[in-house]
Amino acid sequence: MRRAGLYGVPRVRPWSWQAFLLGFIVVAASAALQGVCVALGAKLYFAAFLPSLFVLAVVAGAPAGVFAALLTIPLVWWAFMPPFFEFMPLSSANADSINLFCLVAVLLIGLGDLCRASLTIISRGGLKSAGESGAATNSQ
pLDDT at 2 over 80: no
Whether 135 is covered by a domain: the verdict is no
Whether 29 is covered by a domain: the verdict is yes
6-52: per-residue pLDDT in tens?
A: 555 677 899 999 999 999 999 999 999 999 999 998 888 999 999 99
pLDDT at 103 over 80: yes
* Domain hosting residue 119, numbered range: 17-125
- For the ranges 22-31, 32-41, 96-105, 116-125, the lowest mean pLDDT is seen at 116-125
Whether 39 is covered by a domain: the verdict is yes
Residue with the larger pLDDT of the pair 136 and 105: 105
Whether 133 is covered by a domain: the verdict is no
Report the distance separating Cα 78 and Cα 94, nearest Å: 12
Length of the chain: 140
pLDDT, the chain, mean: 88
Tally of domains within the chain: 1
In three-state form (DSSP H/G/I as H, E/B as E, the rest C), the secondary structure along the chain is CCCCCCCCCCCCCCCCHHHHHHHHHHHHHHHHHHHHHHHCCCCCCCCCHHHHHHHHHHHHCHHHHHHHHHHHHHHHHHHCCCCCCCCCCCCHHHHHHHHHHHHHHHHHHHHHHHHHHHHHHHHCCCCCCHHHHCCCCCCC
Whether 50 is covered by a domain: the verdict is yes
Whether 11 is covered by a domain: the verdict is no
Q: What is the pLDDT of residue 68?
A: 98
Report pTM.
Answer: 0.83
Task: Please report, rounded to a whole number, the percentage of residues in the chain having pLDDT higher than 70.
Answer: 85
Whether 10 is covered by a domain: the verdict is no
Whether 71 is covered by a domain: the verdict is yes
pLDDT at 125 over 50: yes
